[in-house]
Structure 1
Amino acid sequence: MLTVDTDISTARAVAARAAPALAILEMPGRQGVGFVASPQGQLVTNLHVVAGAEEIHVLLADEQFLRVEQVVALDEKRDLAVLQLPTPGVQALRLDGGSHPVEGDALFILLPAGGGMLGLMETRVDAVQVLDESLTFLELEATLPEDASGSPVMNTSGALVGVATCAFADGRPVTIVIPSRYVELLLEQPRMQPLSALALAKPAASRQRQVPSHPLSLLEGCATDGVEEIALAIMQAIQLGAPAYNQGDPKACYRLYERTAERLIQERPDCPGAQAALREGLLRCARLDDADACAWALRDTFDGLLQVIDRWLQAQAAFARLSSPWSYLQ
């Protein structure tokens, strides 16, 4: 059991509540993870874990070994699958579809640790990502093993807040959480199908963010006031553009981002590094086919600039403190 900084009694309580619901999925040539989400024996996992499987057996915490023959529901966009166990009355996790964790909140992931042992990974929400109007997910600080996709994610009260999913962004593995409210929708509207339905299932690939990582030298020679004005303009554009995107208008979002980038390029010759980053973002858009992709390309550009600006401002503040004649006397 692994914990980071939450009280050990909290971690133990979460593990005790969740452990009986964890399930190991045995399929020809591979294994997977899932969890029981209802007393009726409905088992949840990621769709990509079971897609194409012609046979699935499930090992439960009480050592029952069951054969899955029916699919309750599939959600290709959100990469979710609900399977029906033949034995009802098994212990299930308590869902909390009304929970909306925010950045910095502590979460726990229950996963197999080998040798019949369980591991409890504590992590925190790194970001709340809005892919589009139909999917919002959490990005976590911790990196989950690829074979642990489908593991349950709980809050500090032990309620399920989502499904842990291994994804990739900028060529690196990231852990995301598909919120439990999407699971509840599938449980409320079952569409019973034979196991053969998995043969045609194709989970949607998660959008890969391409946020550039800039060195501090990008802002070399820039005045503090100029850097702060660039950051303010970008944040204002995101505050206006993101709601437009979420309301189903990616073109309006992209046009707003585009105008902001073009204006900053024209108005900020005092920050050539920032100008170059914005030009690169616009060039990337020129190679893309649709407004949705362009909106995300410029959002990646903006996020990359905001990250380096934040680091640069922190470095400037630290330097100013060290340069103060009182810095060693305080």
Structure 2
Amino acid sequence: MVVGLTYNLRGESMEAFGAGPARKGDDAEFDEPETVRTIAAALEGLGHRCVPIGALPQLMQRLLRGERWDMVFNLAEGHHGFGREAQVPALLEEWRIPFTFSDPLCLCLCLHKPTAQLLLRQAGVPTAPFTVVRRPGDVDGVGLSFPLFVKPVAEGTSKGVGPDSRVTDARQLRRTCTELLERHGQPVLVERYLPGPEYTVGVLGTGAAARAIGVSQHLFDEDGPPVLTGWGKANAGSTPLRTRLLNGDGPARDMAGLAVRAWRELGCRDAGRVDLRCDEGGTPHVLDVNPLPGLCPAYSFLPLQWEGAGRPYHELIAHIVASAAERLSPPPVTLTTAVVPV
């Protein structure tokens, strides 16, 4: 197959496309060039012809020039709005070009944490009780008991999560919510703090074929915050996060089963992650569902879980492509890209 590759790169400037200057840390979710090169090499090694495309503006230009691909391997996170992760998939849907990972609806739902949690709770999947603060005055109406946990409603890579995200009184809640509202320009999710251990489950597949490939428990320093911070995730390449990969014992099976259930309920596809945390009684709750996972082989959770079981990285990419290829109709054929005048 001819496989296009869409992505956002850390440090890339979108000002030439009218996006405005980026603020420090806004690109924490984006990929490093080495990750893109590694995925391209894996696709080529699997016998596909990989065509690097870039971000949304580059994809638009190439589509209008008449370029087409059998499939697009989509890593693009987007820049702005609750629909940013859905922008590239929506454009590909309009052009009837298949792509890896979840569809635009799923990506929007999962990025907006309150919506995802409402859907999961309706399906009987446990999540922490929460409310949403849209303006500083809403803090007065928060009826949850302290301690609480505060974060933006629609950020990834733990952006907006830091040592002060766990709040213990009304004054701290107001200060943290106000800072997040000003910094991120979006509402704030306020939920009951869960004091138990935190886990990440890697999921591979779609629907009934979805399965857990690994369960990692996060280990926190005694003198540091007991949460995954935005700084920690953004700097995982230089300061690796401390985790341990669990075997298939009872707790791991429980985490894996709940994660796959949440994955299926939200309609996620191909591969991704589900983050969970336990309450004081040891009951796991779903924190976040990530249907557009990081794939850096050096520090992203999904590849580390896959390779932790002795499986090579290129096989993970092969499974993702094979899962997406099941949606192709007719079956994939070899096409050549063409450039036509517009």
Smaller-chain TM-score range? Answer: under 0.3
TM-score, normalising length: structure 1: 0.24
Higher strand proportion (structure 1 or 2): 1
The higher relative CO (CA closer than 8 Å, separation ≥ 6) is in: 2
Q: Which has the larger radius of gyration?
A: 1
